[in-house]
A and B are shown apart, each in its own frame.
Chain A
């Protein structure tokens, strides 16, 4: 195919991402496990890119984990989502910025349902009015927060202090990118690059000097599986699927893993510890694990933010090997400190290898 033809085809895999004025909805999982990532995202948008991003304290969970563990009916989640849209409408915003991948998939599913079945939209308008008295407009633009970082990746690269490059050798760092399943597997047109060629993280990694690893199980689920992790006796499903990915990526010697989903980086981080406890196996260099980052943390490291301000100490698998490769300075003694350097103890064991 001629170059022009390829460019034309690639256009079909792009999505429109609003430029400014976002209504931000948070992620339950992100807030629990890596809340510093959401703060980092807001800081980059507001302080570095001078964007308007608004948060309303009255917004709630979309109830997506309940929906995908089947305790919340579709009518209920549609109406909770409609309430988020009502808060957005009342605040004068039309562009939704979604922190969570599960929520992002749900927002897309619901909006597409309403397009296909206008009667469903009318029903939900009635439910919301009856329950809360509120009315709403459907957002003009729905972007996952990683879409927004992707949109401004070149600018972040320009103003950032660090690159995804080994500062001693000058070689690009080799990064595994993991896309949350609900980003584009259900509605490919809603993700940058679709489900077949997801580009949202690739674009960031390449813009910031890194090299993307292609490996056989690149698109395999991390294994969250909602009820398969939530219930203790099901977690073999979860760890087994992550293990399948680690086994597949290890020969390519990744310097780090990055994900755009709230849950995936937590699982890919914690399961490395569990696999070491169960099998004595580690997947990184020198008996250590492979550092796992959220995309907000990766952007924050490029910007030169303090890793501990971003909450990188909340990872079980040490990220320091990556910081060292990037030439980032940090204070090991302050890693587990509280605010103002207050000492609050430290974990009994850190890292995923003994």
Chain B
């Protein structure tokens, strides 16, 4: 079956030069060379994992889940560092990944720096600059003890999350992302400096070569 309904429904296919039907085709071909090329390309990083393809596939398949398997493999083998979109994994690991293990949240108000999040607009900037007051006003418990939104997660719970990452391979993936990214950063002329390759992180977070979209 190769109907392409997944491509018709896909938000990524509309925006990027991306075709989920092609992904399923390459994986099914079992052609090692083509699969390796895919793992090193930008293409596997275009999907938004909305899983709209799951709903529409007449066979109940889900290219979004195939993409997740390919991304896991690409990171395991270090191939993600070969593409502009793949290299972004370091920035995501540095923010979201470290938030999860160090704070117990995927994102935090202090991450929403206006220069990095202009889309949050003047209201977002006002919230950022008045975090304590604004969150208190709406009943959150920002960095407080006990229950509530944005409470500080107790250290013993964070220790448990950290041990879960150790036991289940979460830290292994983090280390691979760091290892292959640092290698690539050096190849591209970036250096560790005092801030653990922060120039490279900023580069992958902001760079767009403009060649990803349908022309």
Contacts and interface: CB of A to CB of B under 8 A. Distances in A.
A144 to B, nearest CB: 16
A337 interface: yes
Interface string A161-195: 00000000000000000000110011010000001
A270 B85 CA distance: 24
B106 A234 contact: no
Interface of A: 26, 28-32, 35-36, 38-39, 55-61, 63-66, 68-73, 75-76, 78-80, 83, 105, 127-128, 130-132, 181-182, 185-186, 188, 195, 219-221, 223-228, 230-237, 239-241, 244, 270-271, 273-274, 308-311, 313-316, 336-339, 342, 344-350
Contacts of B100: 60-61, 63, 66, 72
A236 B15 CA distance: 8
A284 to B, nearest CB: 16
Interface in B5-35: 11-12, 14-16
B87 to A, nearest CB: 10
B19 to A, nearest CB: 15
Interface in B39-61: 45, 47-52, 54-55
Contacts of A131: 160, 163-164, 166-168
B130 A345 contact: yes
A233 B173 CA distance: 23
A72 B170 CA distance: 6
Contacts of A63: 100, 106
B11 A39 contact: no
Nearest to B152: A57
Interface residues of B, number: 88
B96 A309 contact: no
Contacts of A316: 120-124
Given A70-B72, A185-B50, A346-B126, A132 B160 contact: yes
Most buried by A among B122, B134, B168: B168
Contacts of A314: 123, 127, 134, 138
Given A66-B106, A185-B50, A231 B149 contact: no
A347 B122 contact: yes
